[in-house]
A and B are shown apart, each in its own frame.
Chain A
């Protein structure tokens, strides 16, 4: 399998920049396996990313890729999807890129329910710029901009996406990568806005200042904290604190998809306008 995903990598750009033990590469690998498994074709698959360690993945992937600017991957992807609806467009983003500087685009992409798949690598920190807190940093955790602990409350990004209108919402982890790979596949196959939060360890900028510190321990902790949606339903909010609820958290196959609705409306308008012109011509 490893050999197979190599055909989707710019091998000349390796070795990659990710630190030893970083979870970004684990999930990027799962994404590539999903692409192969689904038989997506290079000529009509587009990967768009913003800026960050996680967004850096686009630089190594040998598909059509746009390494956009910080926070703007979703609007760029929206433009691509509107121009070429037949393309499969996937956005790779981070918790800073997708939920801080680009948070506005995230909620509006969800609201429109445009057929994009957004994989948000949540390491709960700005990894690339050296460990500043992000909108998903847990209260009490240490970041370079929160040296005595974060006091702002975090987002639950999956609940945010669901409330904003996304029609496929799922959460996976680097620790349980088989599940995450499956969720990515489901997300890509879903027609509408798919939001997949991938919880990944950043041992360098997060682990180093918090507990557990080591990459393997971080993965172990992720695994230990993970709980399925069904099991979670049976727990009290108190018991749920600290848990990572994984799996497909929300799915709606009925809500109209943005690009299709747009195409229908515009075809309707064209037909109407065309009829009017034809009538005027007759007069």
Chain B
């Protein structure tokens, strides 16, 4: 833990991500601008132009091309990064699956923004949640510092030989991307030492060992086994993510787990939440604790692979869990995180109740009052005999 930098900078979330990219200095960056990610691309373009990094910066004509180009570069043996949001993420969708199945360690910054329609530029998590089955590792950050820390750790996780999967890391559009917050950085050398040099596995541009990437191997081919191998890499990633976090903690003094519990030890009711709303939730937990309510919370960090066993034991003693999703899953019982948590706790005995809450779609504000309302529902459910309805509950929804 020697030589830690303690200078605190005031930056936007996008500046934090761009600084992490600068220190990583990947070989190739391809990106297309979209609000609220644009600033990341723009800052990076300036760094490239100013010679602060050695990356090749490719400005393409759409996100579909951006992801295609990083796939090409990564398959060719380069360390690659990109960034996007919302519709851009959606346009990349076809290629997300290709990147993960080629086992390319691409790192992508996703600044969360709602999906059309109607067009909306504000924050929710429907973009990245829509890519949850694409075979990418997903890390969600709460604030500026985590946007930076997750970005650097993502490189190590993606390139780990036990993993070799692309990683996307998220932070909230506007709330974090455009707002100014504190950031403590590592030195450039520390980052370079931490990530180490990149050695590609089976790169295309090795003339002594030509390889073919992604061919059709017939009806009786190995597609199925290939997919299972991908999923096994996901399983192995859980340990790698924690190991990388521990090593990063040593280096930076900032420690991360697969998720972050808060006042959970003796909690009877708890909320699981993602992104910047965790800060507001923590405030509410403190307020309720002061009143003697045994409230706690977990901030989700790693969504893919989903650490279900760790959640099952962390929430074992809690009577009622409320899950706050900033994305709806149309026609499902609740949002994506709710479905995971509920499934994770199914084998617990006693089995905690898990209730779904949806909030903040298209950037709708979420106030401490709204989170208190959710806790009130949990409190009531904890006192009642029998189980409470698991119908979806919406926070700060206008009356019809």
> Interface on A for B, CB 8 Å cutoff?
51, 67, 69-71, 100-101, 103, 126, 128-130, 132-133, 135, 144-148
Contact = CB atoms under 8 A, between A and B. Distances in A.
Nearest to B36: A129
Contacts of B231: none
A71 B65 CA distance: 13
Interface stretch (B5-13, B39-47, B324-332): B39-47
Nearest to B90: A69
Nearest to A149: B49
Nearest to A131: B42
Contacts of A147: 45-46, 49-50
6 contacts: A67-B118, A69-B117, A132-B59, A145-B42, A146-B45, A148-B49
Interface stretch (B27-35, B131-139, B182-190): B27-35
B38 interface: yes
B4 interface: no
Given A100-B62, A101-B32, A70 B45 contact: no
Contacts of B228: none
Contacts of A130: 33, 38-39, 42
A70 B121 CA distance: 13
Instruction: Determine the main DSSP class of B at the interface with A.
Output: loop
Interface of B: 32-35, 38-39, 41-42, 45-46, 49-50, 59, 61-62, 87, 116-119
Contact of A69 (B33, B59, B116): B116
A145 B61 contact: no
| Central interface residue in A101, A133, A147, by most chain B CB within 10 Å | A101
A67 B35 CA distance: 17
Contacts of B59: 132-133, 145
A148 B49 CA distance: 7
Contact of A145 (B34, B45, B87): B45
A102 B244 CA distance: 41
B354 to A, nearest CB: 35
Nearest to A101: B62
A130 B34 CA distance: 9
Contacts of B117: 67, 69
A100 B91 CA distance: 14
A145 B62 contact: no
B81 to A, nearest CB: 16
A51 B119 contact: yes
Contacts of A70: 34, 87
B87 A69 contact: yes
| Central interface residue in B34, B38, B46, B118, by most chain A CB within 10 Å | B38
A130 B87 CA distance: 17
A100 B119 CA distance: 20
A144 B42 contact: yes
